[in-house]
């Protein structure tokens, strides 16, 4: 995840140059679910994988989340929420994997809806990624994958405590929670 450069400066008449180190020495993959349960605060449930720099692959031989990683994320969300899940997936090839479809078919507490192609404006998690990239991640050259991992964990935990921000990502899709949330006392 290479953060965008949101601002830079230089002396008048000099082109600003942003130097970064050479090749990437590792990779971090992140997956998240924005969870909404009527009558409760919104939640963000996420997982990340730090890929080894020397091989660049996980045990499964992938450089990203496998369908089994998504299966584990869905199971963890179901345990935390204690309720059936309705998943709204984008068209990532892993989301459409046969193993994940079979897993969903075996469990009656999972319902999956596929978003149309090229519709990030309908996916609340895209708002989370945008917030993440514009926050502390912007204008940061990470020294190594562990540095990126620490920054991701810290930023995602901050987002987890801000249910209003997660609600805003849902509202940006044009949807609203079915019932109002209880007032804080």
| pLDDT one-digit tens code per residue, 110-141 | 988 888 888 888 888 888 988 888 877 777 77
DSSP string computed for 53-116: TTT---TTS-SS--HHHHHHHHHHHHHHHTS-EEEEE---TTTT-HHHHHHHHH-TTEEEEEPP
| Domain residue spans of the chain | 27-171
pTM reported for the whole predicted model: 0.73
Specify the CATH architecture of the domain 27-171.
Answer: 2-Layer Sandwich (3.30)
Give per-residue pLDDT as tens, 4-42: 556 677 888 888 777 655 555 667 888 999 888 778 888
């Amino acid at each position: 995840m290479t953060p965008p450069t949101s601002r830079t400066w230089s002396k008048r008449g000099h082109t600003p140059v942003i130097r970064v180190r050479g090749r990437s020495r590792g990779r971090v993959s992140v997956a998240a679910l924005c969870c909404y349960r009527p009558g409760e605060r919104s939640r963000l449930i996420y997982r990340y994988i730090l890929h080894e720099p020397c091989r660049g692959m996980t045990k499964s031989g992938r450089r990203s989340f496998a369908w089994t990683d998504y299966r584990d994320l869905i199971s963890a969300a179901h345990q935390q929420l204690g309720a059936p899940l309705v998943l709204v997936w984008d068209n990532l090839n892993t989301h459409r994997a046969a193993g994940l479809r079979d897993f969903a078919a075996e469990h009656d507490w999972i319902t999956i809806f596929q978003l149309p192609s090229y519709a990030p404006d309908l996916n609340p998690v895209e708002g989370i990624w945008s917030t993440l990239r514009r926050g502390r991640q912007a204008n940061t050259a990470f020294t190594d994958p562990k540095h990126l991992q620490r920054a991701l964990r810290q930023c995602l935990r901050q987002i987890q405590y801000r249910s209003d921000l997660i609600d805003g990502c849902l509202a940006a899709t044009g949807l609203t929670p079915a019932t109002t949330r209880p007032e804080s006392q």
